[in-house]
């Protein structure tokens, strides 16, 4: 996985690996707290799914705005 991430971020490999490490440790650090959310594991998965959908919508909107230029 790390090799694939490095290849995908080829022009800026150092920055890509920094983002990879940040996301990895963010997930590892917050995972134990997510289980304590109301609803247990199901609630945690719902919250994470909502965050991913929101992030995807933001990225999609940013890409659409960038193509209009």
**pLDDT band (50, 70, 90) for residue 69:** low
Contact residues for 60 (Cβ-Cβ < 8 A; gap 6+): none
Decide: pTM greater than 0.85: no
Between CA 33 and CA 15 the distance in angstroms is: 28
| Cβ-based burial of 59 (10 A; exposed 0-12, middle 13-18, buried ≥19) | exposed
For residues 42 and 24, the answer to whether their CB atoms sit within 8 Å is no
The per-residue pLDDT for 58 is 93
Segment 5-63, tens digit of pLDDT: 778 777 878 888 888 888 888 878 877 776 777 777 788 788 889 999 999 999 999 88
Between CA 22 and CA 58 the distance in angstroms is: 20
């Amino acid at each position: 996985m790390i090799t694939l991430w490095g290849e995908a971020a080829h022009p800026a490999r150092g920055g890509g690996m920094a983002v990879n490490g940040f996301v990895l440790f963010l997930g590892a650090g917050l995972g134990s707290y997510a289980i304590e959310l109301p609803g247990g594991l199901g609630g945690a998965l719902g919250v994470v799914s909502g965050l991913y959908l929101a992030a995807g919508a933001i990225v999609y909107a940013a890409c659409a705005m960038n193509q209009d230029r």
